[in-house]
Amino acid sequence: MSEMNRRQWLGRVGAATAAGALSEAAPGLAQVKSPEGAGKMKLELSEFQPKSMLHAPETKVERARFPVIDIHTHLSFRAKSVNGVGLGDKVEFLASPDSVLPIMDRKNIRVMVNLTGSSGSGLNEAIDKFQKPHPDRFVTFTEPLWDQSARPDYGKVQAAAIESANRAGARGLKVLKTLGLYLRERVTEGPLVKIDDRRFDSMWEACGSLKMPVAIHVSDPEAFFLPTDRFNERFEELNNHPDWSFHGKDFPSNAELLQARNRVLARHPKTQFILLHVGNDAENLPYVSECLDRFPNTSVELGARIGELGRQPRRSRSFVDRYQDRILFGTDAVPNGTDTPQQVFVDALYEIYYRFLETKDEYFDYAPAPIPPQGRWRIYGIGLPESILQKVYHGNAARLLGLTV
Ligand SMILES: [Zn+2]
């Protein structure tokens, strides 16, 4: 709702209330008919946009204090997908370097890592479009050949594909939540393939020996595994995107998925894993800490989880302090991703991340949207010192990717 509409709407509500009769003229509002609630207004949750009356200072952080490597972005994606499984090499682009570079320059983003760079000819195209003309600004990761995964010789084929992707210029491997939640024994049909299935062992090993970090997304927010009902803290988000729910059907639990991932981490100690979205359990930082302690071959990334970190600022602050050498800046940014405001690649998104990391501001929105898209709460900055900011913004990622910033 625009500011104008909101005012008109509030005006109408006021007039209706004053007249003592709420009518359809006020969207989302209706008089409660039950005897105990007589006279009370009803308001649709989706219409509720409370404005905070808190007089809290607002620090505008237009540029990051230090150059940034955004290790989690999506500038391209596989063109074909069936039942959640990306198939074939063909890529589609969400942006061009010319459309992205001005925002990067304004926001002090030195490097963007395009994780979803596909494979084979699609990977070459993605590298040609971004990385080749701007080798100091873009990095590309490759993705597994999911469509080959039912072949008996898949292990060999996939390891060879990693080697040729590396020769083509890919700096790492991205594994989407496809593995564990969508990929099936007959690729798009049959039982779900387990994350620690042995057929992937040679892929994890190839990444280790080629020093290509694996950026892995496993599972999803805890609330996505619970019924979409009035007790679910992400009710509106799941109601808007019913296909994001992993409750019921044949889906494993969140804990089972993370345990299977952990068996992979244990089995491939020479491979570096970037556990995306704060280890995919930002709601449970003690558990993420446990994983980081158990598996020295891991680091975590922040993408689309400052809503979680920012609502527990004291715990987050000590978490970042403790693991300051293993935390990477990432946003999960998607150019034109208006459907997911917490990821849309715009100036305002980066300003929120910078404000969260650099200031001690209180109670602000974690996404550039009128309604908090990942749960109705606001966040608090953690005010990191410069020594840690430098590591989180670029130092840790540069080390992992072998870059100089
Ligand atoms: Zn992502």
Element (H, E) at 172: strand 172-175
115 CA distance to ligand 1 middle (Å):
8
HEC per residue, 370-382: CCCCCCCCCECCC
Specify the pLDDT at position 336.
87
Beta strands at 76-82 and 85-93: parallel, antiparallel or unpaired = antiparallel
Specify the pLDDT at position 39.
81
Q: What is the pLDDT along the chain (405 residues), one digit of tens a residue?
A: 343 444 443 334 333 333 333 444 455 555 555 556 668 999 999 999 999 999 999 999 999 999 999 999 999 999 999 999 999 999 999 999 999 999 999 999 999 999 999 999 999 999 999 999 999 999 999 999 999 999 999 999 999 999 999 999 999 999 999 999 999 999 999 999 999 999 999 999 999 999 999 999 999 999 999 999 999 999 999 999 999 999 999 999 999 999 999 999 999 999 999 999 999 999 999 999 999 999 999 999 999 999 999 999 999 999 999 999 999 999 999 998 888 999 999 999 999 999 999 999 999 999 999 999 999 999 999 999 999 999 999 999 999 999 998
72 CA distance to ligand 1 middle (Å):
6
pTM for the model: 0.91
Q: Is 389 helix (H, G, I), strand (E, B) or coil?
A: helix
d(CA 177, CA 254): 12
332 CA distance to ligand 1 middle (Å):
4
- The per-residue pLDDT for range 158-198, each reduced to its tens digit, is 999 999 999 999 999 999 999 999 999 999 999 999 999 99
19 CA distance to ligand 1 middle (Å):
50
215 CA distance to ligand 1 middle (Å):
9
Overall size of the chain counted in residues: 405
Specify the pLDDT at position 1.
38
280 CA distance to ligand 1 middle (Å):
11
Strand residues in 68-171 grouped as ranges (E): 68-73, 76-82, 85-93, 109-114, 138-142
341 CA distance to ligand 1 middle (Å):
13
What is the dihedral sign for C-alpha 364, 366, 369, 371? negative
